[in-house]
A and B are shown apart, each in its own frame.
Chain A
Amino acid sequence: MTFSPELEAKFADLVTHYPEGRQRAALIPMLMFGQEEVGSITPEFMEEVGKRLGLNTMQVDEVVGYYSMLHKKAMGKYHVQVCTNVACLLRGGAELYDHACHKLGLGHKEVSADGLISLEEVECMGACSWAPAVQVNYDFHHEVTTDQLDTILEGLKK
């Protein structure tokens, strides 16, 4: 498995951030940044990262299973995350999530047939004072109404 030169450079830099002999610490950043390029956490990707850090695939796998942002199944090109935790719930987060489900015809962690859009009901993402909040990939949208959500979703193009 090969990575882009940019990602290779990033990996090479990451392992220098930690004390000698503790390079395993770079594992989660490598998985997070690598996932953006690879698309999901595949067995080959885990094996490759493990090789660089002196870990076997199972040691990588047990870490992957713990973190909610590391996806073994590829999410859509646009991963739409709607928060329904308390602060968002109080300002319509649950209704917004229901609206997104109907509009997209998708449920929690489901991906559209063309792989373009996926949906996830997420826990608090730190936008409580500007609720309800939606994140598309890493882009935050604050105080989102159902109309605004429609506009956001319609803007997600191939």
Chain B
Amino acid sequence: MKLFNEPSPLETKIISFRFGLENSASIDTYLANDGYKALRKALEMTPDDIINEVKASNLRGRGGAGFPTGMKWSFVPRASEKPKYIVVNADESEPGTCKDRLLIQHDPHQLIEGCLLGALAVGAKKGWIYIRGEYNYLIHIMDKAIAEAYNNGYLGKNICGSNFEFDLYTHTGAGAYECGEESALLESLEGKRGVPRIRPPFPAVSGAFQSPTLLNNVETFSSVPAILRMGGQAYADLGVPKSGGTRLVCMSGHVNKPGVYEVPLGFPLMKFVNEIGGGVWKGRALKAIIPGGSSSPLLKAEECDIPMDYDSIAKAGSMLGSGGLMVMDETTDMVKVALRIMRFYQHESCGWCIPCREGTTWLKKMLQRVSDGHGQTRDIDLIGDLAQNMMGRTFCPLGDAAAMPTIAIVKKYRNEFEEYVARNPFASPELVSIA
């Protein structure tokens, strides 16, 4: 399939190196380019060896939370008598994120191999790839790849002549951001409304069908074959301490060359925007960057001189999240951005937890009021207070996801909210003459 954007010479291609090869989604292309080599290696290894290799790689979850993958894999109780399952989160829906789509579109076998490695590590015999409903065309690509893998002995019984067996299926979602949250995804996989579950128990212990489940993002699973091929340490060394390897970053917004690019963890953020992205468009100045999907607090231009790794971005007060990097130029209206972000979270709140359901609804109403020119000064404080009060008070991170960017925008661009309020003739009673 054709590439959506030109690659950059500054990329380090570890998991995207097959993108753009002829018939890159086919098993022939995959096998001719290191495909299923990691599986053959892993079949000679013990589960502990595989997990230790993943631990050594310092791979952290690419779906948003950034949890150390090797540790997550070690939490699955292999001695449990229950069946163990693999679930791939391909419900990519954090605004700003469009990388998992490419990983399936251009290299579905890499994901299958990642699932097989996870299955060997935890003793799973069955797995599902939960693909968001809008990505219907990917289901066809994935199903075709799965069929090829069965026909070539990489799925089913006696994989590569061993006694290892594994079945893999695609499963379509039906349009719900919330189902990207792991416990809501499992509810949805079981044929129910996608509302989050209380944790603990975590999915590693009780996940799909109440059985131990290894649940990771598409990019996380897709990174494991490279880790086993090159060795965990070598992969870790590509990145920085505690953030190993490379990741796909989805650049969007006001840049000259938006696109999805693979860079090592710790790559300088401004170098990424200016040299890979060709800088801010139309010769304008940079105003702010949302570094990791719309739930990550935005960084003002002067805060952006940092490396892109989990800890450096956390230190700057934001998150690397899902790698959805949105660039905003000097003309961007932050009130409109805050409103659009809140409209999204209000629409997607599943309604299970009151602080989130009511909080997002009232935040949207207040932001709409300010944006419409009917805001009061006290609205600005109330928006910040209400968002602050949602933090940490919900079952799943959606409440926090809605609150964090709102708090950051109101705090960092309060002047823009005040300008909107100042245009409301009824906003400041003390300015109205009563004489």
Contacts and interface: CB of A to CB of B under 8 A. Distances in A.
Given A22-B190, A87-B95, A128 B252 contact: yes
A85 B344 contact: yes
B194 interface: yes
Given A22-B209, A86-B294, A131-B252, A28 B5 contact: no
Interface stretch (B165-173, B265-273, B412-420): B165-173
Contacts of A87: 95-96, 252-253, 324, 326
Nearest to A124: B95
Interface in A34-89: 53, 62-63, 65-70, 84-87, 89
A21 to B, nearest CB: 9
Contact of A68 (B4, B95, B175, B188): B175
Nearest to B290: A86
Given A17-B171, A63-B193, A84-B340, A129 B347 contact: no
A60 B191 CA distance: 9
A70 B96 contact: no
Interface string B241-278: 00000000011111000111000000000000000000
B94 A124 contact: yes
Interface string B289-328: 0100010000000000000000000000000000010111
Contacts of A127: 98
A123 B193 contact: no
A89 B173 contact: no
A50 B328 CA distance: 48
Contacts of A27: 191
A135 interface: yes
Contacts of B95: 85-87, 123-124, 128
28 contacts: A17-B128, A19-B83, A24-B190, A25-B209, A63-B193, A66-B176, A66-B193, A67-B133, A67-B194, A70-B175, A86-B96, A86-B337, A90-B328, A91-B252, A124-B93, A124-B177, A124-B294, A125-B134, A126-B134, A127-B98, A128-B97, A128-B98, A129-B4, A129-B259, A130-B259, A131-B253, A138-B134, A139-B137
Given A17-B128, A91-B253, 11 more contacts: A25-B171, A26-B191, A28-B174, A31-B174, A85-B95, A89-B336, A125-B134, A126-B101, A128-B95, A129-B5, A139-B137
